[in-house]
């Protein structure tokens, strides 16, 4: 490996956590039954890997030009979440997969956006951001929310709905969401690119890596994330019991916070620098990407990788939370203006959800 | 009949379908059991009749002056839907009546509006439209949606709700909706007419017919629509089975598309001509009219025409769809600006609904 | 008592109703079983007391300076509702307490706001108001609505939810709401006071009372309200039966209208004077205050005053109504412009709710 990678590691304290990558592998060999330890170590190892993955993606995107780079960012931007969910999928832990999808949407929409508004607002009296990108991402999210509501609404209205119906419906919804996502990229990166100026993902000031290094990092770190995710997925449920957390809380809150840590660091730093367009773009863009790209890909891949096909029937409580998160984001971003209390409102809604899931008796997940 | 009617028939290829009007009557005499054939023929016959009805209404409206004409358009603008629903009502097919009401609201709000935005957006980079009329119609729709949610919400919350309660409530809601609709016309055509300039229903450029011809067409074509509707309503369920469609899909999607075809043609043509105010007015105006005028009139007329009184308790899945359609329209029309992808979003939500209803097992309707 | 109090009583016909305060006490001594009479008399007695309480609060607020005064108004502004609810709480009538909380939110959001828009709009063609305060209060309301939805959503999704879980959750939600309310005051009265200019609560033109009189009135009238409330709470259910009203209707509509009468008088008068900022502030501010201050305080005080702890699990029908009221207010206040029909829309939604509750069979409350 060449210079820029090591320069970044020296520069960014988060990357010092890379030390935990070999440690977690060693621990798994030596103490395969120490679930709580393995859980903590795997979280500590995933955080810096996600940061590296994020920077490598940005670097490749910066080199490949605007449209292709945007496309790359839009598909690989949530690679960490995707790899974790794929690991859980092939382990047949569909409840964890679904909780982590819903949790990532809610966490990015409420926590990442809310903390960005709060952190930015503590430094700047009021902040403005482009409504165009916010409304675009909120629109995509609204569409995905409809796709997540429908199976559960129909299943409640009709006790006669069969598994076969739910499975057909889920595949159909997955295809529709992917088509909508593709058309959305054509719109925002292609035909109406001019409307979205200023919401680019890449942080100015950060020099991109050379192409070779970036691609090698992308490949190598993805493998590492997959290996660590396996330990994470295996240990998370038992560790959660030790900490007294419900499985719903773990899937919804813990996995989502771990998977999104790298994007959160970028979003918060941009908000402090009064570049709220970037923060809003990262937060709502990540939500939309998980809802319209990661979730449908998981449904389709469950036919290949999973023990059985996965459908899109979510726990009704999760559906309500996704719906509320989307409506709140839609309500908040009408104005295109923010102050610290807007962040507090979003964080409070998130706190209500987190508290409810934390208190929920185990069988409720 | 005089010249303008024949001139229009020569000019408008849609009207060549008028040929199917005698064909469907002949087929019903000769092959009364050929449901699929009768269904297809009755659809082909209703389309041109609806177009004629629409043009005749516009012509009478244009002659009778602004306020009276607006009133006429507002009450007779969905005459086709009303006649089809009345036919189903007197046949006691309440499930079909309710599905067609909910379906018309959803189809006009999502499909007609979405396709207008898409078709307009494919020709024009971005398009502007007056928010005033869009918000007004969305507000009326919201009110109607509340009226449709409440019976189903209370019935779910309380297993003890009796049929008598639902019937009283439905009549009360019908009266409230009609009062709101009347006050809405007083507002938009009367006291605050100035705010609504530019959203008139009549297409410029099209010469209105003379009064006598218009009134004669209105009367004669209404009778023809009623007669063809009878064949349509009788054949639709059995034809649907042949095509493998669920009854819910037929009522929600097929009847709504057939009933609204004439308005769709006008809305799409206006959008291509960059007269998006007109498209939005037709699409949301039709939805509001069905929700606040057609639906309550059907409830009240069920006491006279139907075998038993009809209530406003809808299938919960339909209530969710109407609610989502209204919220989506409210969300979309905040900006007063459109591009092709806005249309895609609306059409995708519609596609999700159509797919769900298509896949739904028959007992679920 | 000194001059200004008597001057106000002479000036304000509402205060002539103070006559009924001694009358209701006398009646309770003489005819303790005449529930209908006692109910009517207690309503007539509460109305002027609420008006006095409101004026005394304003006077103390005006004297204590901006921030402290705002704080005082924000906590004591709904003192009447709080005292009535506390009386019902210590009588163990939790269903009435919950109905009156939900009812006050809905009544203030739909009826008080709607009637203000209508009354203002009948005098002025269109009216403008500051969107900042309206959006702020609507945001607080949205947060509170989420807190009221969650227990009921989780309880429906999970039949296994225990009473202990609901109780823990309710206390947690109460604390979060109070924190949010406190931070909201810090925001609107403190750090971002500049954005909220023009939405002050106090009516210009009305001279505040001297501090001593105001404080004495505040203390004395609060005691009187508490005493009359006791009679009101004891008589309301039996009187309701006499009038043929369901208990749900009484709690939701009657108690809310009686408790909010004083604020309604101020809001309506401001709307007529084209000071719509004030009307919107009073209506939405009162709703937010009941949802984020009165409701959580009641939950926490139920541990001290009530026979058993009270949770935040509401009747699902009430949850739907609060949600609809909040969404409607959010939808309506996006524009910052009003005309008479906007008021009609809000009042119609309220009428739908009132009618539904009125018709609801008794066991449904």
pLDDT digits (tens, 9 = 90+) for C218-271: 888 888 888 888 888 888 878 888 888 877 888 888 888 888 888 888 888 888
Q: Write out the residues of chain C at the interface with chain B, using a CB-CB cutoff of 8 A.
A: 125-126, 315-317, 320, 324, 327-328, 331-332, 334-335, 339-342, 344-345, 348-349, 351-353, 355-356, 359-361, 363-364
Q: Write out the residues of chain A at the interface with chain C, using a CB-CB cutoff of 8 A.
A: 125-126, 315-317, 320, 324, 327-328, 331-332, 334-335, 339-342, 344-345, 348-349, 351-353, 355-356, 359-361, 363-364
Q: Average pLDDT in the A214-240 region?
A: 85
Q: Which phi and psi (to 5°) does residue A338 adopt?
A: -140, 155
Residues B142, C317: C-beta atoms closer than 8 Å = no
Q: Tokens representing C44? A: 């007539």
Q: What is the mean pLDDT of chain A?
A: 84
Q: B174 to chain C: which residues are within 8 Å by CB?
A: none
Q: B355 to chain A: which residues are within 8 Å by CB?
A: 169, 172-173, 176
- Judged by DSSP in three states, A68 sits in helix
Residues C361, B168: C-beta atoms closer than 8 Å = no
Cα separation, A348 vs C176, in Å, equals 7
Cα separation, A253 vs A356, in Å, equals 11
Nearest to A359 among C131, C140, C169 (CB): C169
Q: What is the mean pLDDT of chain B?
A: 84
pLDDT digits (tens, 9 = 90+) for B263-298: 888 888 888 888 888 888 888 988 998 999 999 999
Q: What is the pLDDT of residue A267?
A: 85
Q: Write out the residues of chain A at the interface with chain B, using a CB-CB cutoff of 8 A.
A: 131, 135-136, 138-140, 142-143, 146-147, 149-150, 153-154, 156-158, 160-162, 165, 168-169, 172-173, 176, 179-180, 183-184, 187, 191-192, 195, 327, 330, 334
Q: Tell me the pLDDT band of B363, cut-offs 50, 70 and 90.
A: low
Single out the residue of B330, B354, B175 nearest to residue B256, CA to CA. Answer: B354
Is the Cα torsion angle A8, A9, A11, A17 positive or negative in sign?
Answer: positive
Residue C132 pLDDT greater than 60, yes or no: yes
Residues C339, B142: C-beta atoms closer than 8 Å = no
Q: Tell me the pLDDT band of B51, cut-offs 50, 70 and 90.
A: confident
For the residues of B320-340, what is the DSSP string, one character each? HHHHHHHHHHHHHTTS-EE-H
Cα separation, C47 vs C53, in Å, equals 10
Residues A317, C149: C-beta atoms closer than 8 Å = no
Q: What is the pLDDT of residue B71?
A: 67
Cβ pair C100, C81 in contact under 8 A: yes
Q: What is the dihedral of CA A219, A220, A222, A224, to 10 degrees?
A: 170
Residue A14 pLDDT greater than 80, yes or no: no
Q: Which residues pair with A127 in a beta bridge?
A: A338
Q: Tokens representing A6? A: 């090591």
- Judged by DSSP in three states, B127 sits in strand
Residue A1 pLDDT greater than 60, yes or no: no
For chain A, the chains sharing at least 3 beta-carbon pairs closer than 8 angstroms are B, C
| Range in A82-96, B2-16, C134-148 with the lowest mean pLDDT | B2-16
Q: Average pLDDT in the B23-31 region?
A: 88
Asked if ipTM goes beyond 0.85, one says yes
Q: Tokens representing A67? A: 């449209």
Single out the residue of A178, A214, A138, A169 nearest to residue A294, CA to CA. Answer: A178
Cα separation, A302 vs A311, in Å, equals 9
| Range in A145-154, B239-248, C39-48 with the lowest mean pLDDT | B239-248
Q: Which phi and psi (to 5°) does residue C206 adopt?
A: -90, 120
Q: How many CB pairs under 8 A join A and B?
A: 88
Q: What is the pLDDT of residue C113?
A: 93
Is the Cα torsion angle C170, C173, C177, C179 positive or negative in sign?
Answer: positive
pLDDT digits (tens, 9 = 90+) for B70-80: 667 667 778 88
pLDDT digits (tens, 9 = 90+) for A34-59: 888 898 899 899 888 888 888 887 78
Q: What is the pLDDT of residue C159?
A: 62
Cβ pair B206, B57 in contact under 8 A: no
Single out the residue of A109, A173, A46 nearest to residue A323, CA to CA. Answer: A109
Q: What is the dihedral of CA A28, A34, A36, A42, to 10 degrees?
A: 0
Q: Which residues pair with C127 in a beta bridge?
A: C338
Residue A9 pLDDT greater than 80, yes or no: no
Q: Tell me the pLDDT band of A220, cut-offs 50, 70 and 90.
A: confident
Q: Which phi and psi (to 5°) does residue B338 adopt?
A: -140, 155
Residues counted in chain A:
365
Residues C364, B154: C-beta atoms closer than 8 Å = yes
Residue A198 pLDDT greater than 60, yes or no: no
Cα separation, B61 vs B76, in Å, equals 10
Residue B5 pLDDT greater than 80, yes or no: no
Candidates B137, B156, B157, partner chain C, best to mutate (most C CBs within 10 A): B157
Burial class of residue A178 in the structure, from the number of CB atoms within 10 Å of its CB (0-12 exposed, 13-18 middle, 19+ buried): middle
Q: Tell me the pLDDT band of C299, cut-offs 50, 70 and 90.
A: very high
Cβ pair A286, A73 in contact under 8 A: no
Helix locations, chain A, DSSP H: 3-11, 20-30, 35-63, 66-76, 79-90, 94-106, 113-123, 131-157, 163-185, 211-243, 247-249, 255-259, 261-272, 276-289, 295-301, 316-332, 340-359
Give the pairing of strands B337-338 and A337-338.
unpaired
pLDDT digits (tens, 9 = 90+) for B116-153: 999 999 998 888 888 888 888 899 999 999 999 898 88
Q: Tokens representing B261? A: 């075809």
Cα separation, B311 vs A312, in Å, equals 33
Q: A150 to chain B: which residues are within 8 Å by CB?
A: 320, 352-353, 356
Q: What is the pLDDT of residue C200?
A: 53
Half-sphere exposure of A293 (CA within 13 A, CB side): 22
Q: What is the pLDDT of residue A365?
A: 40
Residues counted in chain C:
365
- Percent of chain A scored above 90 by pLDDT? 23
Q: What is the pLDDT of residue C336?
A: 83
Min Cα distance C157 → chain A (Å) is: 6
- How far are the Cα atoms of A105, A336, B121, C236 from residue A324, in angstroms, in the given order? 11, 20, 30, 36
Q: Average pLDDT in the B182-198 region?
A: 80
Q: Which residues pair with B338 in a beta bridge?
A: B127
Q: What is the pLDDT of residue C254?
A: 86
Q: Average pLDDT in the C351-362 region?
A: 87
Q: Minimal Cα distance from C315: which residue of B? A: B157
Residue C81 pLDDT greater than 60, yes or no: yes
Cβ pair B267, B74 in contact under 8 A: no
Q: Tokens representing C100? A: 């009156």
Cα separation, B320 vs B340, in Å, equals 26
Q: Average pLDDT in the A228-247 region?
A: 83
Residues C191, A340: C-beta atoms closer than 8 Å = yes
Biggest distance spanned by C-alpha atoms of chain C: 62
Cα separation, A254 vs A233, in Å, equals 12
Q: Tell me the pLDDT band of C340, cut-offs 50, 70 and 90.
A: very high
Q: What is the mean pLDDT of chain C?
A: 84
Cβ pair C83, C225 in contact under 8 A: yes
- Percent of chain B scored above 90 by pLDDT? 22
Residue B364 pLDDT greater than 70, yes or no: no
pLDDT digits (tens, 9 = 90+) for A271-293: 888 888 888 888 898 899 899 99
Residues B341, A176: C-beta atoms closer than 8 Å = no
Residue B56 parent element (H or E)? helix B35-63
Cα separation, A252 vs B101, in Å, equals 39
Residues A176, B332: C-beta atoms closer than 8 Å = no
Name the more confident of A207 and C310: C310
Residues C143, A339: C-beta atoms closer than 8 Å = no
Residues A126, C195: C-beta atoms closer than 8 Å = yes
Min Cα distance C320 → chain A (Å) is: 13
């Amino acid at each position: 490996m060449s210079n820029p990678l090591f320069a970044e590691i020296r520069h960014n304290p988060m990357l010092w956590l890379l030390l935990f990558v070999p440690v977690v592998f060693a621990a798994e060999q030596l103490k395969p039954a120490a679930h709580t330890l393995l859980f903590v170590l795997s979280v500590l190892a995933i955080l810096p890997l996600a940061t590296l993955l994020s920077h490598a993606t940005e670097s490749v995107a910066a080199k490949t030009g605007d449209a292709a780079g945007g496309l790359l960012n839009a598909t690989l931007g949530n690679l960490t979440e995707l790899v974790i969910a794929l690991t859980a999928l092939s382990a047949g832990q569909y409840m964890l997969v679904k909780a982590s999808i819903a949790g990532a949407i809610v966490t990015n929409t409420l926590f990442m956006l809310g903390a960005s508004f709060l952190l930015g607002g503590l430094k700047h009296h009021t902040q403005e951001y482009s409504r165009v990108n916010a409304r675009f991402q909120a629109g995509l999210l609204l569409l995905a929310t409809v796709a997540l509501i429908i199976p559960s609404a129909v299943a409640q209205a009709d006790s006669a709905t069969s598994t076969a119906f739910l499975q057909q419906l889920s595949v159909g919804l997955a295809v529709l969401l992917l088509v909508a996502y593709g058309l959305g990229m054509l719109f925002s990166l292609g035909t109406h690119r001019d409307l979205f100026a200023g919401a680019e993902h890449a942080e100015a000031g950060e020099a991109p890596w050379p192409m070779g290094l970036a691609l090698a990092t992308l490949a190598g770190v993805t493998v590492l994330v997959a290996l660590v995710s396996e330990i994470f997925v295996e240990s998370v449920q038992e560790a959660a019991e030790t900490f007294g957390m419900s499985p719903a809380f773990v899937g919804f809150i813990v996995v989502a916070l771990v998977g999104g840590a790298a994007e959160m660091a970028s979003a918060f730093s941009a908000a402090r620098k009064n570049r709220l367009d970037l923060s809003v773009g990262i937060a709502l863009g990540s939500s939309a990407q998980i809802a319209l790209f990661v979730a449908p890909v998981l449904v389709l891949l469950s036919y290949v990788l999973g023990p059985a096909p996965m459908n899109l029937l979510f726990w009704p409580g999760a559906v309500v939370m996704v719906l509320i998160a989307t409506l709140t984001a839609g309500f908040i971003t009408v104005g295109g203006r923010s102050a610290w209390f807007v962040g507090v409102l979003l964080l409070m809604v998130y706190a209500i959800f987190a508290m409810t899931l934390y208190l929920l008796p185990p069988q409720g997940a």
